[in-house]
Amino acid sequence: MNEPLFGIENLDGYVVIGIILFFSLLETIAGYLSATKRTFSDWIQEAGGFAALSFVYKPLIIFIAFFLGKSLIPNVQNAVADANLWLVLIGYLLIDDVLQYWYHRFGHEYSFLWKLHRPHHQAEEMGFFVSYRNAGLYYLMMPNIWWVGLVIFLGGAKAVAIGLIAKQIIIIGSHSTVRWDEFFYKYKSLNPLTYVLERIFVTPAFHYAHHGKSMIDGISDPNGNFGNMFSIWDQLFGTAKFTRRFPLELGLVNDPKDKWTAAYFYPLIASDKSESEIARGFRKDLTTKLEPTVCEFQKDEKYLWCKCGRSKNQPFCDGSHHGTKFKPLLCSAKREGKAKLCNCKLTKSAPFCDNSHKQAENL
């Protein structure tokens, strides 16, 4: 496809593999791999997912995009081939990353897409391969891979190659157990530089927070920090959380540990565990009630109040909000004693009951 980057055939491919080898070497040297608790199912989803994406999905999508381009818009083939490389590169990267931001965000907010993206969040450890852990169908529908195909068709192969290298460095770096950003948090004098860096690029701390199990730790935000290469989209669209800290617990609350076949091939293969979101016939019904629950708290006790109305442990969150636009409310008890928490989710003074359920009763 067009001329090779810097005159070297497949240079971008070599560099991506080089980056993976680099991080795997670092992780191995650091002893992380020997301490891993990953199961066979985890390995096959991560390493197999990487191989499938690199050698099947991406080439297939680029081939189809080329075919569609030639059939539907042949006049614009190579339209940007003579344009300024850096302008094409910036345009390619910004559009690529904003597409991925929204696709990733929808992967958390819409039930079907969540079921395809959920394997990514079942990882209980980070590592460079976690970035490749999603259901196969998730990748087939990924808009930014189609965008790569289109840009190459338009003659921007060189920009794509450079952009992919830069993007892989950031994404693999943000999933790696080598937390390169910790160095920057150690020295106060680096604060201004760190501030700028984390407000442009996704750092490990920013992305680890997205993989944290629950907001209860005050660090994690599994329903925020959706950015991939740039953190600017999260800041622009109100989903950014910067703490410069790393959650201790990663993964999903109530993970039913589906077999890798179901996780990867859903919806072709469903989970055989009835409590799993990817089991046939699984439903997340509303569990709201028109009466509050009286709960007892210790002073400063933290809890997550369910906002989505689907928790099986009302009025508290049990993680059932995944696949909806809701996320729980992190609360802290101001004093020791009892409090009446809302279960109807109509209250205007959440998490407390304000008797809104009485109006609903009269409807």
Contact residues toward ligand FES (CB under 6 A) are 306-308, 310-311, 317-321, 326, 328
Other Cβ atoms less than 10 A from the Cβ of 226: the count is 25
Which residue number, 125 or 318, has a Cβ lying nearer to ligand FES? 318
Which residue number, 175 or 307, has a Cβ lying nearer to ligand FES? 307
Minimum CB separation of residue 318 from ligand FES in Å reads 5
Minimum CB separation of residue 110 from ligand FES in Å reads 16
Which residue number, 126 or 339, has a Cβ lying nearer to ligand FES? 339
Minimum CB separation of residue 116 from ligand FES in Å reads 20
Which residue number, 176 or 225, has a Cβ lying nearer to ligand FES? 225
C-alpha distance across the termini of the chain, in Å: 64
Minimum CB separation of residue 335 from ligand FES in Å reads 24
The answer to whether the CB of 304 falls within 8 A of the CB of 316 is yes
Q: Name beta bridge partners: 339.
A: 295
* Residue ranges of E strands in the chain: 293-297, 302-305, 329-332, 337-341
Minimum CB separation of residue 307 from ligand FES in Å reads 5
Which residue number, 184 or 282, has a Cβ lying nearer to ligand FES? 282
Which residue number, 160 or 308, has a Cβ lying nearer to ligand FES? 308
Minimum CB separation of residue 102 from ligand FES in Å reads 22
The CA distance from 271 to 277, in Å, is 8
Strand pairing class (337-341; 293-297)? antiparallel
Using Cβ positions, the residue closest to ligand FES within the complex turns out to be: 317
CA distances, 302 to each of 111, 248, 285, 324 (Å): 28, 16, 26, 23
CA distances, 64 to each of 73, 129, 163 (Å): 13, 26, 21
Minimum CB separation of residue 321 from ligand FES in Å reads 4
Q: Pick the closest to residue 152 from 277, 49, 2 (CA basis).
A: 2
Which residue number, 157 or 209, has a Cβ lying nearer to ligand FES? 209
**ω before 267 within 30° of 0 (cis)?**
yes
Give me the torsion for CA of 234, 239, 243, 245, rounded to 10°: -90
